[in-house]
Amino acid sequence: MASRQQQLTAPKQIQLSNPRDKRTSSSSLTDDSSLVRQIRDTHTPGRSDNSVNVNQILQVVEEIFHRASHGHAGVLLGTREHLETVEDRTTLSSVDVVFHGLSYLIQKIYCEITCQCSGGPDAHASAIELLRTLSSYPWEAKVVLTLAAFSVNYGEFWLVAQLCTTDPLAKSVAILKQLSDIVEHAASVKPQLEAIDTLIKAILNVTKRIVEYGEMVKMQSHYVSEDTPPLSIALAHIPAATYWVIRGILASASHIAILTGSRHEYVASTSEVWELSSLAHKLNNIHDHLSNELENCRRYIVTKRYDEEYENLRRLFRSLQLDNMKNLRALISHKDDIQPLQIGTSKSRFNLEVLRRKHVLLLITDLSLSNEEILVLDHIYKDQQNRPEVEYEFVWLPIVDPNIWDEAKRFRFEDLKSRMPWYAVYDPLIIEPPVVKFVRNDWQFDKKMIVVALDPQGRVSSLNATHMLWIWGNVAYPFTDEREQLLWNAESWRLELVANGIDQSILDGIEKGRYICLYGSDDLDWIRKFTNRAKNVAKLAGISLDLVYVGRSTSTKEKIRKVNKVIETENLSRYWPDYVSTWFFWSRMDSMRCSKVKQRKTLENDDTLREVMTLLSYDGSDQGWVMVWRGSNETARANGHLTLLTLDDFDAWKTAAADSGFVPTLKNELLRRHTPHHCTRLVIPGFGTDIPDQIPCAECGREMEKFFMFRCCLD
């Protein structure tokens, strides 16, 4: 009898076709073409006054569902604590104006949903009818307005259910709607309530995606149009997605209508619960598909925006500016409300204004910046205090990959920055991808540090002033390509150039006329043999010879430390106690090579480049090397093996050394004994344009074979 009464009193449920049925679903969102055509035929946009602030309406709708969901949990548990602890996220003053003129439409849709749930046609026909009612509105407005109308129905249902046990008015309404039985016997309808809740969450998720597409069409039209992939591909799915959202709303409303007026004997059937979960499954698939397409659109827009910003950067640096601020903002940060610069040692933050109309040297590196580089830069930067005519600022721009940014890299960045008494960006992630692309493509940054010099107007005065800094320090100010050319025009291969900024005692020895012998190897047996023979020859020749161990560029800190310890213990020669000096010596040699190549010099037309390449060749071999100087310009050099042979035969050229001078005679003897067997190899650190296509051997002049070597940083 109870079931018979239920059939007579319960509202008629809309007939819902199975969303997983092959007739109404497929692997794509758009289902069959006839359904899509029918949906599109309901859409007749054109009225400009039908714009709706869907986001603010959606905010209120979400709040209704959010609180109803917590109230639903409280009813099932027989407590109101869930409801009372929910934060109120709705500000009436900010959204009340949004509903002006829409309340009638929402009420109309509400009535249509209610009527259709109380004996209307099947779900498909009901959905199409609702779409016709909203024919002149955008797709995102259709779903939001329909959802708003349903939220009124859903909110009323749960408001009465939540308050009927404490509020007399709510209790009377609950009696008339027969909701008191649901509260009292909530467990019997729990599966249905949970299925409705799950479906509503799926509806909300798809609605948000449809709204996002609408915003994209309005806000990103500069980068992508509705008829251009990938947006056109994504938008093709929006009508069907809108249709299935409305189908989900109708299904939820139908089941709420069944619950309203049902006696406690009513128990939701398995098929009814499955119907709701099946629609939720359908909408979840739609959400995933729309999300993937939305991500494709966002990537496309970001790519187009980045390409545009990259081209803007290129144009900016080709044009004239009153000062450097526009260029610096484009490189570092457009935002005026942040202080993008920080001095690492003091942690103080600064605005870009501190750089206005100043010479700026941009230190562009990745996080592999070495401690030696920082120490040398620190020495050069502080040397400004001794030169009133020199005034510039360093700014560190670390180039990092945000896709692999983690705490370890953050710690490394902070550690490097903490050692810098100059400006650095406070966070490397503020450097935009177009800037990174510009730095890599136009300024040729690739792992190895570059120092881009900008004049007070923001123009590039040197694409890489590193070599000027390493070779001449602040003498190269203002670090322009023209200044670099002038310095080389006044320069020659001399001991001051070789040892400048590294060993003052060597420079003092030039004044005193001492013989200076620089040598390098990591073979302790050779070092012992060479230093003993060199001392014996110097004694026989009656000269004062200052032996200085330089090391090899390829030797690790630990290896050089061990060699220095042996040299000190056995009193073999002088050595540079800190690794920085050895590192700087070889870095300066490589900077001389790079700078000369930039000046388009060759071994055939430039003596300095020839000597630098020879020294680098010796360093690349395993035989050791020796370079003997007297004064600034008198020099002789050879690899370690040939030098030992020549010193062993000192008796044969002792007389000539006394008559013609020790260094010139040694040079002639080394040349006389040289054979192709003594040729060397050259190891050049660098990337891309740093490596010449052809290099002749510094010893014999024949073209050297080229090989590539990849070395781990821990090698």
What is the 8-class DSSP label of residue 703? B
pLDDT in tens, 622-652: 788 999 999 999 999 999 999 999 999 999 9
Q: How far is the C-alpha of 538 from the C-alpha of 527, rounded, in Å?
A: 16
pLDDT of residue 704: 66
Q: How far is the C-alpha of 603 from the C-alpha of 596, rounded, in Å?
A: 10
Q: What are 406-413's contacts with CB under 8 Å, separation 24+?
A: 409/367, 412/367, 413/367
Contact indicator for 545, 630 with CB cutoff of 8 Å: no
Sign of the dihedral defined by the CA atoms of residues 187, 188, 191, 196, in that order: negative
pLDDT in tens, 657-685: 999 999 999 999 998 887 765 456 666 66
Contact indicator for 398, 365 with CB cutoff of 8 Å: yes
Structure tokens at 205: 């998720």
Residue with tokens 């006054």: 49
Contact indicator for 492, 609 with CB cutoff of 8 Å: no
Q: Which helix (H) or strand (E) holds 394?
A: strand 392-398
Count CB-CB contacts under 10 A for residue 239. 24
Whether omega before 421 lies within 30 degrees of 0, making that bond cis, reads no
Structure tokens at 141: 């407005």
- Residue 517's Cα: distance from chain center in Å? 48
- Residue 121's Cα: distance from chain center in Å? 55
Ordered by start, the domain boundaries in the chain are 36-44+51-77+94-306, 324-490, 495-704
> CA separation (Å) from 261 to 157, 256, 611?
11, 10, 100
pLDDT of residue 47: 58
Pairing relationship of beta strands 545-549 and 574-575 according to DSSP bridges: parallel
Q: How far is the C-alpha of 634 from the C-alpha of 614, rounded, in Å?
A: 16
Whether omega before 478 lies within 30 degrees of 0, making that bond cis, reads yes
Sign of the dihedral defined by the CA atoms of residues 686, 433, 235, 285, in that order: positive
> What CATH number has the domain spanning 324-490?
3.40.30.10
pLDDT at 18 over 60: no
pLDDT of residue 436: 96
Q: What string of DSSP letters covers 510-522?
A: HHHT-EEEEEE-S
pLDDT in tens, 295-334: 999 999 999 999 999 999 999 999 999 999 999 999 998 8
Contact indicator for 532, 547 with CB cutoff of 8 Å: no
pLDDT in tens, 68-118: 876 665 555 555 544 455 555 555 545 555 566 688 888 889 888 888 765
- In the chain, the percentage of residues whose pLDDT exceeds 70 is 81
pLDDT at 461 over 90: yes
Q: How far is the C-alpha of 366 from the C-alpha of 389, rounded, in Å?
A: 31
pTM, whole model, 2 decimals?
0.78
| Partners of 518 in beta bridges | 548, 627
Residue with tokens 């990103």: 220
Beta strands in 551-647, from DSSP E residues, in sequence order: 574-575, 625-630, 634-639
Residue type for 219, please?
M
Average pLDDT, the chain: 85
Pairing relationship of beta strands 392-398 and 460-462 according to DSSP bridges: unpaired
Least Cα distance to 587 among 513, 653, 686 occurs for 686
pLDDT at 4 over 50: no
173 — pLDDT class (breaks 50, 70, 90) = confident
| Element counts in the chain: helices (H) and strands (E) | 29, 12
Structure tokens at 484: 């670099």
